[in-house]
Chains A and B, each alone.
Chain A
Amino acid sequence: MNDTLKNDFEDSFEKSLKSLGYLFPTSEDEVVSFEARNKLEETPENFCSAIDLLSKAKHTLTNPKTYLENNKTITNLAWAARKGGDIPEAILKKMKSDRDKAENDEK
């Protein structure tokens, strides 16, 4: 049996989450409920205009592993800084190697 087939409860819970905005509202009913419960936000000013958008190609994303590795490096640095004093050369070297590895994985 395929265990992704949803039961009635899961269906109705999912519908509620769409109306609340945790998932994309995909029916008219969910759109009405979503708008009743969420204030529309202004599109950020740094987003491009309609005409500029038409000259762009579709996006692709950076590999999420890079984000994780970079975040790990930043966490290491912050931790080292909190401990005070200079960061030992060996740790700096390891951090640099983590960062380089993450960047290479991305390519």
Chain B
Amino acid sequence: MTKAIILQPLTNEVLAELFLSMAMKEENRTEAERAFSVFYNRYKNYLYTIVNNACRSWEMYGDELIEAVFENSFLTVYAKAESFIVIEDIPFERQENRMKSWLGKIAKNEMLQLLRQFKVDKDMIDYTDDLTSFINIEEETEHQATSDYLLAEKALQTLSERDRSILTTYLMFEDGNRNLPSIEIQRLSDMWNTHPDNMRQIKKRSLAKVEMYIKTNKNK
């Protein structure tokens, strides 16, 4: 009789142990680097895909921005590995997606930090390397219907390339009371040959346009 081999799922301990090994880099560098390699190879394609997608509004930086956000995000994980050990408190079935959501937050933070380094308005972007603000165990679980996503994409496609780029850039930067920095407003106005004063109006009009499209088509 053949014996069925049951593959064990990745347990909570595996990710937590990888972080523990990385956190102990001063005590055992070889083991820390091995743990980092495992982590890197597991998440590199995911991270690359989200960074590559999200950088579409920053085409002017070319591949440099994609590579910089990608590498800086992994370096942050390695440097702050001890912050991620709390993943062991998250149920196994949610652990993988939670890690990916954290990678999204780290990558967004890294992108804001990179853009902050420019001389002009460097204080306007509120960057923090304190990971405790988003490495928490509780998470909101507000679900949206698939039809909402499809409609949002169609609504976005009704906008011109210029308006789409301006709207997504605003949404990427604005979070709570954070404003789009004027270096970004200037970049957008240079790119689209529009006066910087018009940017907020374009964002507002674009948002109103997609909202109208979604409302009109929601129950069709």
Q: Which residues of A contact B (CB under 8 A)?
A: 2-6, 9-10, 12-34, 37-44, 47-51, 53-54, 56, 58-64, 67-68, 71
Interface size class on chain B is 35 or more
Residues of A within 8 A of B210 (CB): 13
Known: A43-B44, A54-B36, A63-B118. A24 touches B176 (CB 8 A): no
**Are A20 and B72 within 8 A (Cβ)?**
no
**Are A53 and B100 within 8 A (Cβ)?**
no
**Are A61 and B115 within 8 A (Cβ)?**
yes
Residues of B within 8 A of A27 (CB): 101, 139-141
Q: Which residues of B contact A (CB under 8 A)?
A: 33, 36-37, 39-41, 44-46, 48-50, 52-54, 56-57, 60-62, 64-65, 67-68, 70-72, 74-75, 78, 94, 97-98, 100-101, 104-105, 107-108, 111, 114-115, 117-119, 134, 139-144, 146, 148-149, 151-153, 155-156, 168, 171-172, 174, 176-179, 183, 187, 190-191, 200, 207, 210-211, 214
Which label, helix, strand, loop or mixed, suits the secondary structure of the B interface? helix
Known: A6-B174, A22-B56, A43-B44. A34 touches B50 (CB 8 A): yes
Residues of A within 8 A of B211 (CB): 9, 13
A-B contact pairs, 27 of them (CB 8 A): A10-B171, A13-B152, A13-B171, A13-B207, A16-B148, A17-B168, A17-B171, A19-B144, A19-B149, A22-B53, A22-B54, A24-B172, A27-B101, A28-B94, A28-B97, A29-B143, A29-B144, A34-B50, A40-B46, A40-B49, A47-B70, A51-B33, A53-B74, A59-B64, A60-B68, A61-B117, A64-B187
